[in-house]
Amino acid sequence: MSHLPEPIPPAIVQLPDGRHVYTDQLPAPHAGPQIVHQHIHQAPPDRTVQRLALGSGIGAGTVAAGVYFGPLLVGALTAIAANIAFLAFLALMLGWGVHTVVKAVGSPEGAAAAKNIAKARKRRR
């Protein structure tokens, strides 16, 4: 084990009361007031409810339900909204089609077209 450095023996000091201690166990000298840097960050929106639940003593079951059912509820509501939007678009297109057909049949050109179709059917018989 010649590739390892030689260990440094710990320095031993005798205190005024007669005890012997290692120098690395001595308390650090007081250097003035200690400055503590505290960074406060806002919790992300999806964790705020869980942190409030934990802080108010509601329990882990509520937190687990919020974590599990929260995104599930958002997904279900999004799917419902998408279905309603699709049905509204479908109703709009069907309404436009009915309006176009009624407008075409109700005009003089529509009446003439209906007469031509009736005449063509009578001729076939």
Q: pLDDT by residue (tens digit) across 21-47?
A: 877 765 666 667 777 777 776 655 566
CB 32, CB 22: distance < 8 Å: no
Q: pLDDT by residue (tens digit) across 73-115?
A: 899 999 999 999 999 999 999 999 998 888 877 778 777 887 8
Q: Which residues pair with 14 in a beta bridge?
A: 20
Question: Does this model's pTM top 0.85?
Answer: no
Query: Does the CA dihedral 98-100-101-107 come out positive or negative?
Result: positive
Q: Determine the Cα angle at 106 with ends 103 and 107, to 5°.
A: 90
